[in-house]
Chain A
Amino acid sequence: MIQSNVKQGAKNSYWGSVGEGVTSLWKGLLLTFRHLFQALKYKRTPIGVENKDYFSFDKGIVTLQYPHEAIPVPDNGRYRLHNEIEDCIVCDLCAKICPVNCIEIDAIKSTEEIGKTSDGSTKRIYAGTFDIDMAKCCYCGLCTTVCPTECLTMTKTYDYSEFDIRNMVYHFSDLTPEQAEEKKRLYEEKQKEKAKAKSSEAAKPSADKPASSEKTGTPKPAFKPVVKPPVVTPKKEEGSDVKPEDKTPSGDQQSEEKKPVRPVFKPVIKAPASSPKQAEDSSAKPEEKSGDSEAGQVKPEEKKPLKPVFKPVIKAPSSTPKPAEEGGEKPEDKAVSSESGEVKSEEKKAPKPVFKPVIKPPVPKNPPSGEAEQEKTSTSSEEGKQASGNTKPEEVKKTAKPIFKPVIKPKPKQEGEQGDQ
């Protein structure tokens, strides 16, 4: 041990301890008095660390009286989500990528173009519901990253706690429930009209086409089932409640079952390849943004290849079994599916022509070879196409439908499509 010559504390003598005690107590008193008077004079101002004076407040009161004063948050603070609904094209990407499912979107297709976003994208879908549950949000920012129009952003508002957790759900839709119902109804009526028109028109053309086409007899039945399933499933997907379903199907689209999901694509995919599907899945933006241009481009292309495309589709005998499966699933899905989906289906049932095809498909697949059935399928496929593609079909019914119809309907519908146009 080192013998220290320092006599302090316990090593000190009696008088040394007394003296040390007096001096140290006096120093302590001075220290507290200094703080006492500095606290009366000086106070730290609430400035952010980016301010060059941030470190210059080394005396006085340091308390930040939070509700009354706050250190400014940088403009790029990433806290509460905000959706600029006027710029939102309701592409559902944010809801799909959200790891905690805190975004709930009920997309309602419009019967016409709604308008343009501030970056020029065309809006074709109403957001019947656009709810973000900030109580679930994990602030990962993925939704803002995928947002094609950058309408979904994180703001610097961080103090928004609530007494009732239900108040943490933020509603961004600019439609009232009544308005949303109205939009749905309008869309469904439009669909029915189209279906009727197509069915009436398609009856003749369908008869002609099958005759013209080489494989008319067998392919048609196969086709119907394929087409129908997509009709049902897409609607379901669109349903607000079914987000998770949407995600999985979208990812799996390549799988057979999923194919039906996006009727629109199927036609394209089957014949040409799966590339179109991927395009849809991977990049919603290009499709949405360039929806107009694509539609224009696609039309011509599709029209030409239509028949060839169909053949492959028809060939897809493999798809026939799928329809059967799908057909079986459909009823279940319908029951499960969101209210909106159910409502639609019910309404459609009334029109019978539309639904029947959907339901029947499984049973009649093989036996039905009649033109009437074909017609039904064609109509149903059309609906399915329109309904399935959330973005595309809605974009512009006039343009979009033509696009799709050609793809899906190719054989039977071509005439009908033209008629629509």
Chain B
Amino acid sequence: MILIPVFLSIILIYTVFAVYAERKISGFIQDRYGPVEVGPHGIMQTVADLIKLLIKEDIVPQSADRKLFIAAPAIVFSAIFAGYAVLPFAPGLEASRASVGVFYLLAIISLDVIGLLMAGWGSNNKFSLYGAIRAVAQMVSYEVPLSLSVLAVVMTCQTLDLQEISYQQSLWIKDFSTVSDANYLFGIQSWNINLTEVGGFLTWNIFRNPVLMVGFVVFFVASLAECNRAPFDIPEAESELVAGFHTEYTGFRFAVLFLGEYAIMLLVSFLASILFLGSWNSPFPNIGFIRLADWTNGYPGTFSGIAWGTFWLILKAFSLIGLQMVIRWTYPRLRVDQLMFLCWKVLTPLALVIILISGFWRLLMN
């Protein structure tokens, strides 16, 4: 329970500075400064924007479906926030170590779609409705390759427990994993190159099962679409739909929707880090007597374990978010038909192939 306010405050602080970072990064990419006036280097710009947002008038359109309109932002954000419940932040630090963590997470963030549809429908605005319809079509579609790529990881790890998946990629696989007790190079036991004591990036899932490198790309692309981030932002599509499903929202309700948008960015980045990039484990391996992995990891349950674990997981997640931002300011928005082409004719078959290969790869692992 104590982790709820912790996560909430982390999300809030992260959102404030992620918006700032996004504006700075987009500025630099376009050869300009981002915000510069509020605070040193404009770092308080988002705080000022937030204050402005919160003191704005709360408008509910007269012809809107009031109940849906008011409930939608809460559903969107709570669905996304509920996903944080099963995230392992560090060894021994998670809100709920559900044995069906991955399944729960994918299921609960699917509720996001319902919230978006409520917002778009309840606004009684054609732009909002169009945005909502696009959002539903896109998110339902992209949940297929997303789920399939996650399924490949689950097959590799033989578990739905996110903490268990994290332990399998750590130095303590022998002590804490209930599935495996050793890591081998590329997961191939017959080569007999035992990396259990080496750790580092070599025991990440994308190295335990190299085909997951491709799976990671599929997951990442699908997660972009799941977040409605550019280049998959056709639900919001400023140039076509004003602001999509949240066109009619003002003040605090808009802030909540905005918060939900950045929260799901962080959530999928956490998920990608946990599933593919070694979770809360350090990327540095032990090389002979240079015990980099030992120095940059803490034993599960200790303070250093929590500190290092939190540090590495957040660092990985933020790196992915940075990549998401650069991608947003690089690529043009996809057309709806291109979106569906990419989803059903590229990513989904690719994910199926990955699952097939992962199934065989699992046979090579212990």
Contacts and interface: CB of A to CB of B under 8 A. Distances in A.
Contacts of B346: 18
Nearest to A22: B217
A63 B327 CA distance: 23
Interface in A15-44: 18, 25, 28-29, 31-33, 35-36, 38-40
Contacts of A114: none
B28 interface: yes
A61 B31 contact: yes
A210 interface: no
A18 B31 CA distance: 30
A32 B326 contact: yes
B29 interface: yes
A55 to B, nearest CB: 16
Q: For chain A, which range describes its interface: under 10, 10 to 19, 20 to 34, or 35 or more residues? A: 10 to 19
Given A18-B346, A39-B28, A40-B28, A32 B33 contact: no
Contacts, number: 42
B303 interface: no
Contact of A36 (B33, B36, B326, B331): B326
Contact of B29 (A14, A25, A32): A32
A63 B33 contact: yes
Interface residues of B, number: 16
A62 B25 CA distance: 15
A28 B330 contact: yes
Nearest to A60: B31
Interface string B260-290: 0000000000000000000000000000000
A33 B326 CA distance: 8
B20 to A, nearest CB: 16
A405 B30 CA distance: 77
Among A36, A40, A62, A65, residue most surrounded by chain B Cβ atoms (within 10 Å): A36
B28 A36 contact: yes
Interface in B7-44: 25, 27-33, 36
A18, A29, A35, A39, most chain B CB atoms within 10 A: A39
Nearest to A67: B37
14 contacts: A25-B331, A28-B330, A29-B330, A32-B326, A32-B330, A35-B29, A36-B326, A39-B29, A39-B32, A61-B28, A61-B32, A62-B31, A62-B32, A63-B31
Interface of B: 25, 27-33, 36, 326-327, 329-331, 345-346
Given A18-B346, A32-B29, A61-B33, 20 more contacts: A28-B330, A29-B326, A32-B326, A32-B329, A32-B330, A33-B326, A35-B30, A35-B31, A36-B29, A38-B31, A39-B28, A39-B29, A39-B31, A40-B28, A61-B28, A61-B31, A62-B31, A62-B32, A63-B32, A65-B33
